[in-house]
Structure formats: structure tokens, C-alpha cells
Chain A
Amino acid sequence: GQSLEQPSEVTAVEGAIVQINCTYQTSGFYGLSWYQQHDGGAPTFLSYNALDGLEETGRFSSFLSRSDSYGYLLLQELQMKDSASYFCAALDSNYQLIWGAGTKLIIKP
């Protein structure tokens, strides 16, 4: 079957760095996306990795290793507004996104 595994909850301190890991198992694979969702809000797109390596967008970076079926989202200089749920999602051979259950990021002052 198709599945993505990510931690259910991560806690970090304001100003610190946090990494949210994601492992995937899909029928075919085109790339890995990351989305942010605040409580009561809609998911918003953060990044998409089709190739191995690290991609940086401001304070957020995303990494992919296709050989390990693994990726992570790295958040630097954490701010209180980064408190949210983060979802990884794999684009499969049917060109559909398969979603992880989400990681709730709790940031403490």
C-alpha cells in the first residue's frame, strides 16, 4: 500500500532549528511536497522536491533522498507564528498527492 510516515508532534524553542522527517512508500514517485496548516486554516504550499538534495526558501528548507525514500523539512530561526501542522505529501505514479497524517509543531518561548 501507499503510506507516508511522519512524527505526530514535535516541540521546539523559539529561535531554534527543527527538522520534521518523512518516509514514504508509494506506487511510483515523482516528488515530495510540504504543506503548512494553521489551526482552522487551509493547507498552504511550502515546497516541492523532485530531485535529491536540499532546496532552500528563506527560513524553510526541504530535503529529499529518493534512494532512501526519505525527506525532511527544516525550519530555522523558529518564530511563534510557525506553530502549525506540517504535512508531507508524495506525488505518485497517477500524479496524485498521497498525504502523511501531519506533524504538529509546538513552539515554546
Chain B
Amino acid sequence: EAQVTQNPRYLITVTGKKLTVTCSQNMNHEYMSWYRQDPGLGLRQIYYSMNVEVTDKGDVPEGYKVSRKEKRNFPLILESPSPNQTSLYFCASSSSGRAGEQYFGPGTRLTVT
């Protein structure tokens, strides 16, 4: 089954404790992206990757890191989480010629206390 997976689905952590949210897709997509969703704000892009070893900042990259060492994986790293990073996070992927058609993972609900 073609899908984007994320782990964990839910995470409660404390300020300053490094964490990683994994994202993997099995569709051989070149493009991958991380979004955060907050009430009333729609989806805001954090980082994106056009292909392996190619990453770039989105609209809200502060406090986040990413890497793209393999085509299928695109982990999101929070080196020192803060309460304002409490949010719902989505990973998405698409083929390079169809960036308007993105496939989303199930989401990770993160709470930082």
C-alpha cells in the first residue's frame, strides 16, 4: 500500500529534551515536506526537500532541523523543544512533477511542557 508513515503519533515531552519525528514514504517520491498545523492558521511549511541531500527552509524553520540521507526518509529534529512548538505535525511527499498533489502522513501530535 502506498503510504507516508510518521512516528510517533503522539508525544509529550519537556522543554529542552531533544526529539526526532520520523517520516518515511514508499512511493519513491522525490519531494518531501514537513508542516505544522495550528488552529486557525492552516498548514505552515517548516522544511522541504526536493531530493536526497537537498533541503531548504520553509516559512517557519526556526527551532527545527531536517536531513535527507535516503530518498524514503525525512526525519524532523527538534534539538531543544519549547512550548511554542506544541502543535500537530504532518509529513508529506509528492513526485517532482506533481508538487500540487501531496500525500500526507497521519500526523504527530506534539506537546512540549
Contacts and interface: CB of A to CB of B under 8 A. Distances in A.
Contacts of B99: 30, 91, 95-97
A43 B107 CA distance: 10
A33 B104 contact: no
Main secondary structure of the interface of B (DSSP, over half): loop
B107 A42 contact: yes
B42 A45 contact: no
Interface stretch (A11-19, A53-61, A73-81, A99-107): A99-107
Interface residues of B, number: 22
Interface stretch (B19-27, B43-51, B66-74, B79-87): B43-51
A97 B102 contact: yes
A42 B5 CA distance: 11
In the complex, which of the residues A42, A45, A101 has the most CB atoms of chain B within 10 Å of its own CB atom? A42
B61 interface: no
A89 B52 CA distance: 25
A87 interface: yes
Interface string A22-50: 00000000111100000001111100101
Interface pairs A-B: 3 shortest CB-CB: A48-B100, A42-B104, A99-B42
19 contacts: A33-B100, A33-B101, A42-B104, A42-B106, A43-B92, A43-B102, A44-B104, A45-B103, A87-B42, A87-B43, A95-B99, A96-B48, A96-B58, A96-B99, A97-B33, A97-B102, A99-B43, A101-B42, A102-B42
Interface of B: 33, 40-45, 48, 50, 58, 90, 92, 98-107
